[in-house]
Amino acid sequence: MVNVFGIRDNPISDYASFVTSCINVHDPQIKERVECDLTEGVLWLDLLVQLNPSFVYGNSIDALVDSKPHIKARWRSTCAGWRNTQSKKAKRPR
List the one residue out of 82, 55, 79 whose CA is nearest residue 65: 79
What are the distances in angstroms from CA 46 to CA 5, 22, 49?
Answer: 10, 23, 10
- Would you say 32 and 64 are in contact if contact means Cβ atoms under 8 Å apart? no
Q: Compute the average pLDDT of residues 8-17.
A: 80
pLDDT tens profile 72-91? 777 767 766 555 555 555 55
Mean pLDDT value across residues 19-42: 89
Q: What is the pLDDT of residue 87?
A: 57
Spell out the domain ranges in the chain: 1-53, 57-94
Position 25 scores a pLDDT of 92
Rounded distance, CA 34 to CA 40, Å? 10
pTM value is: 0.42
